Amino acid sequence: MSLAINIVELVSEKAQAAGGQKVTTVELEAGTLSGVMVEALGFCFDAAARNTPAEGARLVVREIEARGACMGCGHTFVLESLLAQCPQCGGYAVETLQGRELKVVSLTIDEYDEE
Amino acid sequence: MCDSCGCSQPANSVTITRLGQSGPGAAGQHHSHRPPRAQGRVVAVREAVLGKNDGIAAHNRDFFRKRGVVALNLVSSPGSGKTTILERTIRELRGEIPMAVIEGDQQTMLDAERIDATGVPVVQVNTGAGCHLDADMVHQALHRMELAKNSLLFIENVGNLVCPAMFDLGEAAKVVIISVTEGEDKPLKYPAMFDAAGLCLINKTDLLPHVDFDVARCREYALRVNHRLEFFEISARTGEGMPAWLAWLRSQI
């Protein structure tokens, strides 16, 4: 929930800075190891967005597949979790290369015309 | 994620108190809303969701570095013995290294009062329904205390093995604590916290003869998640294993 609140705050700030009054879409990039559960985040986002420029906005989440490199044999592979084991040598010492990021990529806004 | 834990509360329900004083809480935030005209326009953002927290954490870290303060963020489930470890650590190092404590709990001043009794400066942060400390809460707590140069600052996070993992406070390291009355499989069940930590204290080792906890297996599970993790096995109650932990603390100053 606190992530959803952080997203809504960032989105509201950026939307206002861009002169937009209403956010219709929020595009998010979430690594599969970022700790985010996409469905739960959607639910929390809707709740957190109430009474903000992001109210009613559609949250589009693009998942970034986590990849890691084995410290033992150098093999790079897709990480299913933080407990990933190298499929080549069985080692657990794995360096994460990507998949922890959690970013707001873009907003789609409706602009407000001054009366 | 944690829609049931209540951390959707407004920011102004957080209170930060220096013991012996009462301070105002964090400022609240409200958004205005007016009906828009329809015009779709895409605005590029490309910013981390926790970028604001990370920015304040960087500011805290810079503040610590300039004063030679080593800040440690203590994280664990409720009841692992964080406060008892702090009481014992402070008693052992008092007079040798200046120390201070920031206590995080949803409610009450109970932990801060325990620390206050040891004689070191302590600030209590009550997060209300919030399930973790964030960098701004620590920043505000820092404004209510004076830290000695070349000192230790212990930040006792809210007892929770999930959300505190995501929030950088500006600490030098997260210290995750697991007690032997818990399951040794906790590192597998809550990997994010063990992944984020630099140090792991296995506490209440005096109870090992009475429980089924397998220390070797716990270490092995934790190392699967984070191969860089360092371990100390301690009993804050009897003092067993404390010298190695205290030596590590001394080496950080």
Beta strands in chain B (DSSP E): 15-18, 40-48, 70-76, 99-105, 122-126, 152-156, 173-179, 199-203, 230-233
Phi, psi of B30 (to 5 degrees): -130, 150
Judge: B41–A108 Cβ closer than 8 Å, yes or no: yes
- pLDDT confidence of residue A35: 87
Look at the domain B68-252 and name its fold: Rossmann fold (3.40.50)
- The C-alpha atoms of residue B158 and residue B174 are separated, in whole angstroms, by 13
Judge: A53–B31 Cβ closer than 8 Å, yes or no: yes
Of B40, B47, B165, the CB nearest to A104: B47
| Residue A87 scores a pLDDT above 70 | yes
Average pLDDT over residues B5-25: 59
SS3 (DSSP) at B197: coil
Which run of H or of E encompasses B54? helix B51-67
Phi, psi of B181 (to 5 degrees): -85, -5
Of A36, A83, A113, the CB nearest to B188: A83
Average pLDDT over residues B75-87: 97
Average pLDDT over residues A26-47: 92
Average pLDDT over residues B17-31: 49
Q: Which domains, and CATH codes, for chain A? A: 2-109 (3.30.2320.80)
Residue A83: strand pairing partners: none
Which of B43, B46, B56 is best to mutate for the A interface (most A CBs within 10 A)? B43
Query: How many residues are recorded in chain B?
Result: 253
CA-to-CA dists, residue A73 to A56, B3, B221, angstroms:
48, 41, 21
Residue A28 is encoded by which pair of tokens?
């998010």
Q: Measuring CA to CA, which residue among B221, B164, B220, B244 is closest to residue B197?
A: B164
- pLDDT confidence of residue B173: 98
Q: Measuring CA to CA, which residue among A17, A3, A18 is closest to residue A49?
A: A3
The answer to whether residues B206 and B240 touch, using CB atoms and an 8 Å cutoff, is: yes
Residue B215 is encoded by which pair of tokens?
């220390």
- pLDDT confidence of residue A47: 94
Q: With the C-alpha atoms ordered B192, B196, B202, B204, is the resulting torsion angle positive or negative?
A: negative
Residue A89 in contact with partner chain B when CB distance is under 8 A: no
CB B15: neighbour CB atoms within 10 A? Answer: 18
What is the pLDDT of chain B when averaged over all its residues?
90
- Ordered strands of the A76-78 beta sheet: A76-78, A67-70, A94-98
- The C-alpha atoms of residue B253 and residue B23 are separated, in whole angstroms, by 31
